[in-house]
Structure 1
Amino acid sequence: MEVELDSISNLPREIVEKILARLPIKEAVRTSILSTKWRYKPAMLQNLKFDEQCVSTQNHITFANIVDQVLLLHIGPIHKFELSHRDFLASADIDRWVLHLSRSCVKCLKLVIWKGHRYKLPSSFFSCQDIIHLRLHNCILKPPSTFRGFKSLEHLDIRHVTLAQHAFEDFIVCCPVLKRLILKYCDGFTNLCIDAPNLKLLDIDGSFEDVSLQNTLHLEHVDIRLEFKVRWVVGGSSNLVKFFVHLPNIRDLQISGYVLKFLAVGPLLRKLPQPILFLNDLYMDVNFTDLEEITTALCLVRSSPALRKLEIVVNHIDYHHVVGEVNSWFENLGENSDCQLTELRRIEIVAISDAKAELDLIKLLLLSSPVLECMTLKPFSVDGSLELLKQVVRFRRASVQAEIIFLDP
């Protein structure tokens, strides 16, 4: 047993650190009693994670006491600090820990606050200038006037965070190397304006009156969901054109909720002035009783010559539009549409019904996709699904190898 212990104790420092990093913090701390060689090893951990596993039901040591003890005895830099506990945490305790981290060259900081009022980040937080990866949950972000950004920040994930309009815009601009931005259920600002020249991934979920992208030419992956319908003002310009002019390198796009409704504001187009040359995967929520949404969706499809996978979820929200207007539009479109999808291989349509507009879209896609391999359809309900299947399998197909798969609702 002693031989085994010695062999472990004599492992290279980086190996020991990797072993300790994979243990819950309370177990890692307990290794200090193994031998004199291990006494200070837990105190030198560079990655600290505090969650429910830290507290034992067999003693009365509080979560805050555990964090305090670990930080008090810690030696050297802390590169990664994760705090996530579902019980109430006092703001004064978190303030104390953040102050300690501001002096420790922390590179990855995750503060996930579950209970209580939103935690207001202290001024010491903005001194953490080595941060590369930042996640905040249930916080208030109010940068001081002297704040000039996090110059090394590459990954920003903020959820249920409150910050003012100017604070959000300035914060993004002052993070010049930002590559990934996740923004969900935040409040305090109504216009989403993002200026990030190195951004590659954008994931948005919220309610905004406007979405504006600037200097986002490197964006490749975009997932945007607008949760509530806002009365967007129709002006002389097209939201669709303004949005995609800053996405020349987009490869993966997911738009859901009311995004199509937002993009449809302004003149309706058959194609964008400039094609979306590199878009391979496209996911959309579409309401087939809304002519503006259908027109905008088909404009995106027509403008994407490299499209390989298309997924559509039928949105059954009723906008009180005239269905006859939509059906007439599809009839005028006819089989001689300029929609040629020469790279499209996979199509998936979820919550499909036997509505004429939805069937007309299926017919159009089958006729426009010469290399299509598979079209997967998932009906909205069991009722009428057999009749739907009978109609679809009779549609003409441009691809002789195209397979149609029906899934249970």
Structure 2
Amino acid sequence: MVNDSCPKQEDNGDDRLSNLPEHILLTIIDRLDIREAARTSVLSGRWRHLPAMLSRLVINVWDFLDPFNCNNDEIVRGSKAVVKVTKSILGRRDLSRNTIQFLCMTFILREDDPISIGHAVAHAMATQKVEIAEFTIFCDDDDLVIYGRRFMLFFDACPNAFGGLTRLNLENLRFGESDIPNVLNTCKRLNHLRLFYCDSGSCTVLKVEHAQLSELAIVNCSFERVELNSFPKLIRIIFEGWISFEDPLSFGDVLLLDTVSLTNVSLSWHKMIKFGFNQNV
């Protein structure tokens, strides 16, 4: 027998979690990686648009890969997933309500996937304010020449995306002699640059300048010499793993330089490092 005196719970189609205020739901989703955050959109109608309202977007290809089975097919699948999530979330944003405070993209330089990501990011930058934008770009093997050319094709296809970046991290790329200066010339908002295992061929001199860059890291890059001609806002530099017989690094206009970190394995032909600055420093 049913007890009619027992109060019935009203079925409103949503659970209690879904009835929380929007800002609390966004705080919950913000603690998830982007893959799990995207999955919450299927919970109910209330959740459908929440991932696209996040002010911090960290989309990392490693969140989509199986670390115990990271073969070529898995990398292809993960890269496609990154493209799909990026286009979905950036394409569904409410332009009237939300600024993107932090947009961090980590992806692998494969075929046309980066160009799709770049166009989606460029559209977001054109239609709303993006305060901090970061690209971290990996390669899935060590053919520096092929991936250097592939990166420059990506760069040439997406100048607006690179023009809006504030942080850029590059690995395992061989550039043409003028490629890095051209990248810096386009990335006018850049304040952080990290080059890891990058070069421009053997015995090449990298001559660069930038008006906004405040942090620079050059790690295990095979440049004969790096000349920092004009970096008026540079505060910190990390320089590790050079092979040069001569002085590997020179400074021009670096009036605000505060921290210099030099790390290398000492070999018999290396000279003693001596610091010398011009009278304007």
| Band the TM-score falls in, shorter-chain normalisation | 0.5 to 0.7
Contact 1:222 1:253 in 2 (8 A): yes
* C-alpha distance in 1 between matches for 2:270 and 2:174: 36
Name the count of aligned residue pairs.
236
1:251 alignment counterpart: 258
| Structure 1 gap segments, 5+ residues each | 132-149, 233-238, 258-284, 304-409
Give the letter aligned to residue 37 of structure 2: A
TM-score, length-scaled by structure 1:
0.46
What amino acid maps onto 1:51 in structure 2?
V
* 1:290 CA displacement: 8.1
Per the normalisation by structure 2, the TM-score is 0.64
Percent of residue pairs identical? 19
Structure 1 pair 179/73, CA: closer, same or farther in 2 (3 Å)?
closer
Q: Is 1:184 aligned with 2:184?
A: no
CA distance in 2, matches of 1:183, 1:9: 47
* Unpaired stretches in structure 2, ≥5 consecutive residues: 1-8
Partner residue in 2 for 1:343: none
Q: Is the 8 A contact 2:175 2:200 kept in 1?
A: yes
- Determine if the alignment matches structure 1 residue 208 to structure 2 residue 218: no
* 2:36 equivalent in structure 1: 27
8 Å CA contact retained: 1:26, 1:54: yes
C-alpha distance in 2, partners of 1:54/1:291? 43
Residue 176 (structure 2) pairs with residue 158 (structure 1): no
Shift of 1:226: 4.8
Aligned-partner SS, 1:38: coil
Deviation at 1:245, TM superposition (A): 5.2
* Post-superposition CA distance 1:285-332 (Å, at most 9, x none): 777x889627x37x89xx9xxxxxxxxxxxxxxxxxxxxxxxxxxxxx
Letter in 2 for 1:125: C
Q: Counterpart of 1:82 in structure 2: which amino acid?
A: M
C-alpha distance in structure 2 between counterparts of 1:163 and 1:42, whole Å: 37
Cα shift at 1:228: 1.3
Answer yes or no: is the 8 Å Cα contact 1:9–1:38 preserved in 2. Answer: no
Q: 1:77-88 counterparts in 2 under 5 A?
A: 79=100, 80-84=103-107
Instruction: For 1:69 and 1:290, locate their aligned partners in 2 and report how far apart those are by CA, in whole Å.
Output: 51
Q: 1:216 to 1:30 in 2, by over 3 A?
A: closer
CA offset at residue 72 of structure 1?
5.7
Q: Distance in 1 between matches of 2:15 and 2:114?
A: 37
Distance 1:176 1:66, change over 3 A: closer
2:5 matched to which residue of 1? none
What SS does structure 1 have at the residue aligned with 2:168? strand
* Local SS of the residue matching 1:185: strand
DSSP-derived class of the 2:112 partner: helix
Q: 1:63 to 1:218 in 2, by over 3 A?
A: closer
1:91, distance to aligned residue in structure 2 (A):
0.9
2:61 equivalent to 1:51: yes
1:153-178 deviation line (CA, Å, top 9, x unaligned): 43332222232222222332444443
What is the Cα-based RMSD across aligned positions, in Å? 4.2
Q: Which residue of 2 aligns with 1:361?
A: none
Displacement of 1:182 after TM fit? 1.9
Query: Which is higher, the Rg of structure 1 or of structure 2?
Result: 1
Q: Secondary structure at the match of 1:97?
A: helix
Alpha-carbon deviations, 1:115-164, whole Å to 9, x = none?
A: 15524343432132xx5xxxxxxxxxxxxxxxxxx2x5433322222322
Q: Which has the higher contact order (CA 8 A, sep 6+)?
A: 2
